[in-house]
Every structure is written in C-alpha cells, then in structure tokens.
Chains A and B, each alone.
Chain A
Amino acid sequence: MTTIPTTDLAVSAAGLVKTFGDLRAVDGIDLEVRRGEVFGVLGPNGAGKTTTMQMLATLLPIDAGEARIFGVDVRREPHVVRQLLGVTGQYASVDELLTATENLVLFGRLLGLDRARARSTAARLLEQFGLQEAASKPIKQFSGGMRRRLDLAASLITRPPLIFLDEPTTGLDPRTRGQMWETIRELVADGCTVLLTTQYLDEADQLADRIAVVDRGAIVAQGTSDELKASVGRSTLQLTLVEPERLAEAAQVVHRVLGEDAVPTPEARRLNIPLERSDQAVDVLVALRELGVAIDSVTVQKPSLDEVFMALTGHDTQADTQADTQADTQADTQADTQQGTTTDLDDTPADAAADAPMEALR
C-alpha cells in the first residue's frame, strides 16, 4: 500500500474486460473519475455498464485490465476498496423480511457501529430519506421508490467517499425520480464522488459533470454534456415568420449570408437553419431586418443527447445490443482497446482513458 501514489482520481480503470462465454460484456473500458465529480456512464441495456460497475465494486472478478479506487488496487485489496464504497444497485438490495429500521441497524452493526450508534444512524437516515413513517414496516410492503430510497440510505451509513449508483431511477415515476436526483445532488454537495450508470439521457445531462457513452462493452465517447453535443451536432436556428409567403425569400437570404440551405416548414411559417456557431444567428437576423422580413419568434437549439447517442452508435438508447454484438460503427474502436489490454496487462497506459475515447469520435 505504501507504493501507491496519492491520487486525486476516485476511480481509475484501464482496459477492463469481462467475458461471459462468447459474449465480451465489457471489452476494454478505460475510466477516470475525479474526486468530487458526478461521472455518468450512459448506454443502452446490455452495453456493459452494470458489469463494469460490478467489477469496480469487487462483486465480479476482473478478467483483464486494472482498476483502482482512490489508488487502491481492486483485485489485490478488495477489503480496503469495500471500505471506501457505497453501492446501490439496479434492484434494491435490502432484506425483504426485515423492517426498514432493522435493515439499517443490521448494516450498521455489520459496518462496526455499536448498538446505540447503529440505532441513531438508522433513525437519522430514515428521517433524511422521508421513511420514518415506514420505519417499522417490513420492506415487502414498500413501494418501488421507497425501496430504492432505503437502499440508497443503506449505502450511506458510513458516509463513504465514493458512491456507485447503478441505474438509480430505472422504473421510478417522475416525481420519485426528481427526489432521487435531489438526493444525489446533496451527496455531491457533501463531498461525495458519484459514479452513476443510466440509460436515460436526461438523467446524465442533469446530474453528470462528465459522461462516458458506452455501447457494446466499449466507450464510444467521453466528455461533458456540452462537449458531447458539440462534437456531433450543430445548433439549429428556428425562425417563425409573420408572413408565410416570404419564406422562400428568407431562405435565399440565409443562403447568401451563411451558404447553408434552410429547411422551410410552410404550415408552421417556420424556417430551420443549421448553424456552425450560435452567433451566426445574428448575421441572419440582421440581413432579414434589412429586407424588412417580419419575424414572429426566434430560438436557437443545441442538439439533444438523444441525437448525440444516435450519431455515435447508429441506434437509439433502447436498442437491444446483446442480440447483435457486431456493429460496424464499433468494430474499429473495440479492436484498438482490445489489443492494448489482452496482450499486456501492465503496459496499458492509465491516462489513455481521457483522450482516446474523444479521438474515437470519428
């Protein structure tokens, strides 16, 4: 342990591989999560998000590659890693036959709190998570949202510096989901580092400082939400005219100013104009004013993460990827990372994670 340099990385993983029979569920994933950030791993069902998280959490053996939590080797020091982690899975991992209080006391006692401390911590967490009324009810009678909250509360007993949230809001109604997001924000405000997997683009957009897009066991892109959006799409200027008969005339102006073809929607008196940079909108508006074309409304839209995902993977987030494991969009990315990891474990450069995926962005 003395040889481990101090690091400001909460998670660093290089070339992680997990195979189940013929399926390479995780196929050379590199990750770097900085202290204090929320890092989102975004991808469809079967992309390898949960498997990656389980390897990092000591729940699954790592087939190839290397992972460290706060500099501690996950394979060599699983007991130390477990003391640094709180894990909340896709399915609530609490005891169905026990009450909420009993569950939290049980985990508190296992984590080394004495009886009194375990009880007071349980009471505090139940209050914090709005579960005190259900404190003495068996979990069997809990709703999905309540279970998930209790599960998260159970992960916070020792206030670990790193929390893994595996699809924390899958299957929750919008209100409960909003509450969950609020709780996650509070955790971060408290100094916690969060690694989050999700298949919801808006969730990653809302919560994550940085996002890795995962598809078919590999990272296809990485960056902030804005970087990802900027990398694939261009903004769109939407203009609604007062007089629909002047749409063609306006389109000509756009072509003259930007050299771009505007797409008219006559029924809506609207013109969609692709922009290289958002400030080009001003040039268009000035030119139209000079011509005396009256404008009803103006909006500039960034591409949504959905569009980003489509552009990166060639399919949307709900697609079942396990059925067709070979996709052309992925083939080259996978091949690159794979060679680095399977041939020589120790040689995989740890810092490749930051740059490589953005390069992979065609």
Chain B
Amino acid sequence: MSTTTTTPTTPARATLDPSTLPRHVSVADTVTQTMTMAWRATLKMRRNFEQFFDVTIQPLLFTAMFAGIFGGAIAGSVEDYLPLLIPGLIGQTVLTACVATGTQLREDMDKGVFDRFKVLPISRIAPLAGPMVADMIRYAIAATLTFATGIALGYRPGGGVLGVAAAIALAIVAGWSLAWIFTWFGTVGSSAQAVQGYSLMVMFPLTFLSNAFVPVETLPRWLEAFTRVNPVSHIVSALRDLANEGAVTAEVGWALLGCLAVIAIFAPLSVRGFTRKM
C-alpha cells in the first residue's frame, strides 16, 4: 500500500456514461467467463489433491475388489467377468464423480469468493458451468484408470484402441449429463452434507438398479422394468458395445438420448435454482 501512484493502465471510469454500458452479457463473454471459471476449478484441483481420490483410488480398488469377489459367482471366472464389469464400474465411478460435482458446487457457494462473483458483471451461469466443464477431466481420469486396471487384471477389450477411446468419450459425455442431477441438488440443498445425502440416495439406486454389475435377466420382473428405463443401464450397455465389440449400436443412441433427457429435465432446474442464489 505505497503512497506512490503508479501510472494506471486502465482508464478511470469516473467519467463513464452508464447509458453506454451493455445491459446483458453476450454469448461470447459467457463462454470466456465459463472457461475462466473452469480454469479456476482446475487450479483448485491441483491444490487439493484429495479431490482426485474418488476418480483415482476408487477405480483401482473397486475394479480389483469387484472382480475378485463377484467374478467367480457371476461369470464363472474373473477373466469372463471383466468385459461385463469394467464398463459397469466406469458407469459407477463416473456417477460417484458427479456426486462430488454437486457437493463441491454447494461448498463453493458458501464461500466468501462467491459474494464477489455475485457482484461482478458476469453471466449468472458461469460459476455453475465452469466447474462442470472442469469436472470432465475427472470423468476422463476415472474412465481411463478403470480401463487400465481392468487391462492389468487380464481384460482384453475387443473393440481395440478405437473402441476404448470411444467408450471413454461416451463416459465423459455421460458424466457431464448426469452431473446436472447432482448440480440441481447442489443448488437447492441447504448444506454440502444435505446435498451429499440426497445425492447418495439417488446414486445408489441408479447404479445398482442397472445392468452395471449383473445381467438384468437375473432380476425380479419389477426391478427389471426399472433397470430397462434407467439411463445408466443404457450408458453401461453402450460402453460395453463400444469397448468390447467396437460397435456403435442402437444402445449408444439410447444412451445419448437418455443423457439428453437428463439434461432437458435437470439443466433448467439447476440454472433456475442457481440464478436464484446468484
């Protein structure tokens, strides 16, 4: 706080005419602001490495654990279970990562810096969209590591490099889409704990009442009916088709449609919940 005044590089706005100022944020500015917010989120990820535990440790641990425990019982052997399990686990891990997207948004909104975001002339959506963009990195890490662990355990994806790459891409898209559900919780929950609570209540049925770990044919009829409409089932099926067959099947279409449906319902809800607090 020196008393010497350095030559200002920005012109003073003291003589500014308010009527010349834009009344709304342009689309281009919204994109720049969202990417700036995404940059902030990546800086925070680097500072706080625990944020990566759910997408690093969990894939390693769960893949080894699930393969070892259920392999024999469900598919006869670990090797035979892996093509079924790995895409299922990717679905589960990405969904877990989405839960973190919602809780972290809630935590972020409680911080002092959010007061500044509110008073800046920026798009009301940027602080919400930025972290969602940055979290795509986390979904990518989760999907890649799960594949890597599976391959280390003896999984040989029939789709080859291209099939696996396509599956990872689909996992990222699916993660970003499903994240809107938890983002909505993040905007309406009263605290990060509450958001976590709601999210787990939704995440577990979505994951386990799907074809992620078991063939749906083994389920009772009423459960089977739910698993068939569960978007997670279609995402997991599409991941299997891409990774194991290298085939873009109708399931891929259904998966993308499911993602679109989730976005169509939860994105407007999230945006509304969020702008109320901005």
Contact = CB atoms under 8 A, between A and B. Distances in A.
Interface of A: 1-2, 4, 35-36, 57-59, 69-72, 77, 79-80, 82-85, 87, 89, 91-98, 102, 106-107, 109-112, 117, 120-121, 124, 127-130, 138, 149, 154, 157-161, 179-180, 182-183, 186, 190-192
Contact of B18 (A71, A96, A106, A107): A71
**7 interchain residue pairs of minimum CB distance:** A191-B14, A82-B121, A93-B116, A93-B115, A109-B36, A93-B112, A95-B113
Given A109-B32, A161-B16, A98 B43 contact: yes
A129 B40 contact: no
B10 interface: yes
B interface, size bucket: 35 or more
A129 B6 CA distance: 11
Interface string B32-55: 110011011001100110000000
A92 to B, nearest CB: 6
A183 B2 CA distance: 9
Contact of B112 (A92, A111, A192): A92
A106 B121 CA distance: 13
Q: Which of B11, B14, B32 has the most CB of A within 10 A?
A: B14
B28 to A, nearest CB: 10
Interface stretch (B19-27, B152-160, B174-182, B202-210): B19-27
B18 A154 contact: no
B113 A94 contact: yes
29 contacts: A1-B23, A2-B19, A35-B14, A58-B118, A59-B115, A80-B21, A82-B119, A83-B21, A83-B121, A89-B115, A94-B112, A98-B43, A98-B47, A109-B36, A110-B33, A110-B117, A110-B126, A120-B9, A121-B10, A128-B2, A130-B1, A157-B10, A159-B8, A159-B12, A159-B13, A160-B13, A161-B15, A161-B16, A186-B3
B1 A182 contact: yes
Given A4-B19, A72-B18, A98-B40, A111 B120 contact: yes
Nearest to B119: A87
B25 A98 contact: no
